Amino acid sequence: MHAMQYEITLPADYDMGVVRDRVARVGHLLDDWDGLGLKAYLLRERGVDGSPVNQYAPFYLWDTPEGMNSFLWGPGFQGLVNDFGRPVVQHWAGLAYEDGGAAGAPPEVAVRRRVGVPDGGPLTEVAREAVQETARLAALDGVVGAAVALDPRHWEVVHFSLSAHDKPDADGERYRVLHLSAPGRDRLRRGRQW
């Protein structure tokens, strides 16, 4: 599993209806994308849910690198580049994924929390604790799914969860889910990824 996200931060007075309309128009195009576990079309609005910015920030879980690469080098990502410019694409190696108790429900909110890996100490302990946190997040009421991944270049762990509840009980940055494409969610390996 590979996790990926890019963040397009928009001006404070930007009409976020433009992003909502774009997702309504093109979001379905990845509903059957080969190699995609899931894509959550995420939105933050300045002043809503504690967000300091307007931002479009889709989050992906890929079940194959070929699916991810065909998206990045294909017309779907190029369309985004044409509309908003080329964003920095963050990428993490998957450590774990779990379905939540509300796995069949449409998610309303996503929560992302990034944590730096401290120097010193065994990395196996960091990974073990990250996997345990994924299981804890997946067990929360209303959770659709939870994942954790690691960027070994910057030594950063990212926790990500989708919730069917408007106010999930998870810490981190909150995003509204405009659409969820999940053609390969059933192919995402559950539990620890090594």
Per-residue pLDDT reduced to its tens digit, 51-73: 999 999 999 999 999 999 999 99
Strand pairing report for 89-99 and 143-151: antiparallel
pLDDT at residue 9 is higher than 90: yes
pLDDT for res 65? 94
pLDDT at residue 192 is higher than 90: no
Tens of pLDDT, residues 32-41:
999 999 999 9
**In the structure, what pLDDT confidence band is assigned to residue 82 with cuts at 50, 70 and 90?**
very high
pLDDT at residue 76 is higher than 90: no
Query: 157 CB contacts (<8 Å, ≥6 apart)?
Result: 95, 114, 115, 116, 117, 126, 130, 148, 149, 150, 151
Q: In angstroms, rounded to a whole number, what is the distance separating the alpha carbons of residues 137 and 170?
A: 7
Per-chain mean pLDDT for the chain: 95
pLDDT at residue 23 is higher than 90: yes
Tens of pLDDT, residues 104-117:
899 999 999 999 99
Q: Which residue's structure tokens are 């998610």?
A: 107
pLDDT for res 163? 97
Tens of pLDDT, residues 142-151:
999 999 999 9
Nearest residue to 6 via CA among 78, 90, 68: 90
